[in-house]
Structure 1
Amino acid sequence: MHSGVVGCDQRIAWLLTTCRILGPDPVLARRDGFIKALAEKGVHVDSSRVSRWESGLQPLPMRVPATYESVLGAAEGSLVAVVAGLRRAFGNGTTPKDAAGREGDLSDGDVDRLMSLTESGRAHGGQWLRLAGQLNRYDRVYLRKRDWQDLCGQLVSELAASVGVGYVRRYEAAASLIRHPRAQRHLTRALGSFVTHPDTQVVAPVLNLLAEVTDEAAGDLVLRMLGSEHRDLRRAAASVAAVKVARGHFEAEALKQLEPHVVGSLRRGESLDGRLDFFDLAVQLPEDCWDRIQPAVRNRRAFDLVTRSRQGGELVPWTQTSTVVKEVASKVQAETPAHHPSEPDLMLHRLLRESLLHAHKARRHHAALLLAASPYAPAVSRHCLALAKQQNDLLAARAWTVLMRVGHGDRQDQVVLQAMAEPRASIRARALVNVGLMDVPLRPDEAQVLWSQLDGATKPVERQATMFALGMAGAAKVAELAKDESDWPGRSARWWLDQGPARHDPDVGGPADSQQLAPAR
């Protein structure tokens, strides 16, 4: 990621270029047609300016991705959020004033309207992103304590149930607010309250926000959660800890406190996929930490996996998977409509490889988000669904995880059928999470089949994934289960009734909200 050839700027340029030249409009695919469309929006640039934008040789202000969204008819913030996350995670970051992708303040009336929409739960992700960008323009923002609490509580609740680009945009809004001196305390409290609720069914999408905070209190909270009795909370905390270690958030004493958690996880006989979050943490530990814990890691296979990944940065040796990834990349490019013949897309190949097999979860995540925001997404989805049938457990699990990011297109029935038929418990759990992320409701008979497949021998991870699928789908089965007085399934079902089903942003797939564009620079 830090390479001068394939760093953040090159990936951002690739995203903008592919969205233009592989988009549905052949006129915009031509540079002259795109420049004319820009002029009609009030953005006057020449061919050399567009060439510089799409070269990857210089950092671009967020104004440029926002301009591409407007001209290409993408949902507001759909490119800006992906670019902001990539830059924040692996680049030099952005200034608060640049984060929103727009120049100039909103009017008081616009801010009032956005506040009303967000607090009432009627805002889409682009509006959350716009409000967060406006608030972040100022170091001092006055809101009543109750208003901060309502705003942050609503955002955290929506973050837990948002899907696709709706989640990406809300996450970037929350990542912006949690770094704001006035909002941070309120958002951190809302986050902590949500994930520590005894019946919470969704942890990681919210807890990930702690990776954006550098202060010692956030690190202490992550360390405490690593010792939780809640398995999902421990795993989510390990994932956050790996990111914080990679970003240098922990001091030496905190790093030492991480070591026994890593050793304990590597000693267990779980599959690599089952302990992937702790594996990521082991790979990210500094050399002196890893040297200290090596003698305690007596599981030879786990030791070899971590050692190899620390050296090569991938979950499995590239020689074992190169043929599969190359074949998928070739098919994805061939099946994505193009207006002109093109050379093999090496960045597509790299992003597929990283999204499936990179050792660091953050790298996998952001590679998948780039693919999801590109015109390649439908073909990537199609081939990942096929890859999810692989006999190789790790590759099948990774394919399902990439599907969570890129979506399911028109293959939602196939997703349900594959989830029902998958015999491997941990992989079936990932398939069931995908069922919960679909933007079409489950039929009552499908919900009943999913529930009837559970029995006394069902592993907790599969049981929770089934409840996630039903809860996110808003299945009527959840209300029936909520009447059960026992801890399971009653309390879990009642939590889903209170939380509500998945949030699918209504603006996704349509044009961005119209706003006056200032010249992009």
Structure 2
Amino acid sequence: MSVESTPPPGRRRGRPQRLPEDPHPLASGVVGCDQRIAWLLTVSRVLGPDPELARRDGFIAALKARGIPVDASRVSRWASGLQPLPNRVAATYEDVLGLTEGSLVAVAGGLRRTFGTGPSPRDSAAREEELSDAELDQLMQLTESGGGTGADWLRLADHFNRFDRVFLREAEWTALCRRLVTELGSAVGTAYVRRYEAAAAFIRHPNARRHLIMAVGQFVTHPDTQVVAPVLNLLSEVPDSAAAALTLRMLGADSDNKYLRRAASSVAATKLARGHFDEAALPRLESHVLGALRRGESLDGRLDAFDLAVRLPGESWQRVAPGLRTRRAFQLVEQARAGDEMIPAARAASVVAELAPAVQHETQSHQAQEPDQMLRRLLREALFHSHKPRRHHAALLVAASPYAPAAAHHLLQLACDPNDLLAARAWTVLMRVGDHSLCDAVVRRAVEDERPSVRARALVNVGLDGDLTPEHTGAVAQRYDAARSIERHATLFALGMAGAPELPDFAKSDDAETARAAQWWLDQGPAIHDRDVS
């Protein structure tokens, strides 16, 4: 699972020894948020293109030149995860390393928000200075009009987060939240991660929360909405009663949109794990799990309900388990409830034991390194962990690191695996880690794969990839009429995100469902990649 190529002069690949000046974030034996963030920032520097910044003394000099008072001891504590790293320092890392603004801050912020206590309000600010009134007005106009990037949304959220109360006119809150939610529906990669972090800050702010929840509800309940999960996930961020009620309503039988029900199931699993539901909600959750797991689908087809089953309290699971039709479904949930992985541990270890060294070997380095145990852990979590937030944030960490191109290449190889679950999981992780240079291969496999659920995920990757050629969109559209429902939905996603020229014809289809879906994409517009993303 590796490709040999010649590294640039002055760089080599290898694995015998750790860089002596950089303590590994796993060295303390604790692998929490701070250690994962430390790993991301360390590999971004050590495996970055500039050999001078890969050296600690060169990096310290660059930090000092940007006003960060630092010495070797503090950098060592940051690199080992023993001292939390403030967002303003992470922002300076981005500047020094020439990375996209907010690319590290957003990933680190999401990880802390999801699994840690988060930094103090003072340390959560990415900048020392507040926006002036003129700067705030300009930023509001830019984002509300649809001209802002993810960095602009993060600046706005960063400013609002400094204050307990933010007073805007009702119409201003409504317009801002609707615009942000609409952009979440088609933003990709760093553009999406930055907007999601801004939206998560909005939904947690007492003055913005109601408006953001209303905007989410309006977006996902539109009868023709084609993108649900990237927006609906925001309901998992707060224990608000309105967010819980909306999740349960979308989970129920009164929702005739299967994609909305699946997304609601995933959100419910996260909210349940975070204690956002009271006991009165358990019968609704149990009923949904039982109905979903009794169907004769593969684990991949029921993964959202599977996530929810694993998070049910013990007494709830005991009520659900006897109603399952197959022993297999029961065993899969029991396995994950005991070990937090969706496949046997030996199989997961075997896959990652081959994948991680290949990814590390193919990633360029300025000097030899020992095997990266955090990379191995993150790849295993991204592929096989039973809790979706763990899978999601592990994948985002890999995607934000210098390992991303090599990881995408080898995940694409894994996506060809004859095991449907492994192939589907590889495609799903590729949704976070994708590489545009693989576009031709992704399109080819999306067109050729005969497994509906696997092919659907491949088609989603086509839509997330970037600009497609007319040959690409023509090949994708060609199989639409003969495809199953799940493949048709993914095909229109790929064409819609690409702004494909075939969309107007689909909008005139005699099939009403196809016509409405294509028209929704014409109204929504193509994928947002952000002009400032490097």
**TM-score clears 0.5:** yes
Aligned to 2:412: 385
Of 330, 333, 336, the match for 1:303? 330
Of 268, 273, 280, the match for 1:246? 273
- Counterpart secondary structure, 2:134: helix
Matched, 1:490 2:534: no
Aligned to 1:418: 445
Question: In structure 2, do the counterparts of structure 1 residues 98 and 487 end up closer, same or farther at CA, with 3 Å as the change threshold?
Answer: farther
**Equivalents in 1 of 2:321, 2:122: separation in Å?**
45
Aligned length: 507
Question: In structure 2, do the counterparts of structure 1 residues 96 and 461 end up closer, same or farther at CA, with 3 Å as the change threshold?
Answer: farther
- Residues 97 and 136 of structure 1 are in contact (CA less than 8 Å); yes or no, is this contact kept in structure 2? no
- Residues 473 and 501 of structure 1 are in contact (CA less than 8 Å); yes or no, is this contact kept in structure 2? yes
Deviates more, 1:342-351 or 1:401-410: 401-410
Of 48, 52, 61, the match for 2:77? 52
Matched, 1:444 2:470: yes
- Counterpart secondary structure, 2:227: coil
Aligned to 1:85: 110
Matches within 5 A, 1:79-478: 79-227=104-252, 228-440=255-467, 442-456=468-482, 458-478=483-503
Deviation string 1:291-329 (CA, Å, 9 cap, x unpaired) is 222222232110000000100110101212322211110
Report the Cα offset of residue 97 of structure 1: 4.6
**Equivalents in 2 of 1:230, 1:97: separation in Å?**
43
Question: In structure 2, do the counterparts of structure 1 residues 100 and 474 end up closer, same or farther at CA, with 3 Å as the change threshold?
Answer: farther
- Counterpart secondary structure, 1:220: helix
- Counterpart secondary structure, 1:178: helix
- Counterpart secondary structure, 1:223: helix
Report the Cα offset of residue 139 of structure 1: 1.8
- Counterpart secondary structure, 1:353: helix
**Equivalents in 2 of 1:240, 1:502: separation in Å?**
23
The one-letter amino acid of 2:74's match is R
Report the Cα offset of residue 471 of structure 1: 0.3
- Residues 436 and 469 of structure 1 are in contact (CA less than 8 Å); yes or no, is this contact kept in structure 2? yes
- Counterpart secondary structure, 1:340: coil
Question: In structure 2, do the counterparts of structure 1 residues 253 and 436 end up closer, same or farther at CA, with 3 Å as the change threshold?
Answer: same
- Counterpart secondary structure, 1:436: helix
- Counterpart secondary structure, 2:341: coil
Which structure 1 residue ranges, 4+ long, deviate > 6 Å from structure 2? none
**Equivalents in 1 of 2:124, 2:149: separation in Å?**
18
Report the Cα offset of residue 216 of structure 1: 1.6
**Equivalents in 1 of 2:218, 2:123: separation in Å?**
31
- Residues 444 and 477 of structure 1 are in contact (CA less than 8 Å); yes or no, is this contact kept in structure 2? no
Deviates more, 1:184-193 or 1:319-328: 319-328
Instruction: Return 5+ residue gaps in structure 2 as ranges.
Output: 1-25
- Counterpart secondary structure, 2:109: helix
Question: In structure 2, do the counterparts of structure 1 residues 94 and 249 end up closer, same or farther at CA, with 3 Å as the change threshold?
Answer: farther
Aligned to 1:515: none
Deviation string 1:433-475 (CA, Å, 9 cap, x unpaired) is 00001122x222332222221235x321111000000000000
- Residues 445 and 458 of structure 2 are in contact (CA less than 8 Å); yes or no, is this contact kept in structure 1? yes
**Equivalents in 2 of 1:123, 1:166: separation in Å?**
11
Report the Cα offset of residue 215 of structure 1: 1.5
The one-letter amino acid of 2:411's match is C
Report the Cα offset of residue 145 of structure 1: 1.1
- Counterpart secondary structure, 2:244: helix
**Equivalents in 2 of 1:4, 1:235: separation in Å?**
37
The one-letter amino acid of 1:230's match is N
Report the Cα offset of residue 17 of structure 1: 0.5
- RMSD between aligned residues: 1.5
The one-letter amino acid of 1:454's match is Y
- Residues 68 and 89 of structure 2 are in contact (CA less than 8 Å); yes or no, is this contact kept in structure 1? no
Deviates more, 1:90-99 or 1:374-383: 90-99
**Equivalents in 2 of 1:240, 1:264: separation in Å?**
17
The one-letter amino acid of 1:168's match is V
- Residues 436 and 465 of structure 2 are in contact (CA less than 8 Å); yes or no, is this contact kept in structure 1? no
Deviation string 1:261-314 (CA, Å, 9 cap, x unpaired) is 001111011110001000000001111211222222232110000000100110
The one-letter amino acid of 2:309's match is A
Question: In structure 2, do the counterparts of structure 1 residues 501 and 100 end up closer, same or farther at CA, with 3 Å as the change threshold?
Answer: farther
**Equivalents in 2 of 1:20, 1:256: separation in Å?**
50
Question: In structure 2, do the counterparts of structure 1 residues 182 and 254 end up closer, same or farther at CA, with 3 Å as the change threshold?
Answer: same
**Equivalents in 1 of 2:53, 2:213: separation in Å?**
43
The one-letter amino acid of 2:476's match is L
Report the Cα offset of residue 32 of structure 1: 0.4
- Residues 100 and 132 of structure 1 are in contact (CA less than 8 Å); yes or no, is this contact kept in structure 2? no
**Equivalents in 1 of 2:434, 2:148: separation in Å?**
21
Question: In structure 2, do the counterparts of structure 1 residues 315 and 241 end up closer, same or farther at CA, with 3 Å as the change threshold?
Answer: same
The one-letter amino acid of 1:455's match is D
**Equivalents in 1 of 2:295, 2:34: separation in Å?**
40
- Residues 100 and 129 of structure 1 are in contact (CA less than 8 Å); yes or no, is this contact kept in structure 2? no
- Residues 87 and 105 of structure 2 are in contact (CA less than 8 Å); yes or no, is this contact kept in structure 1? yes
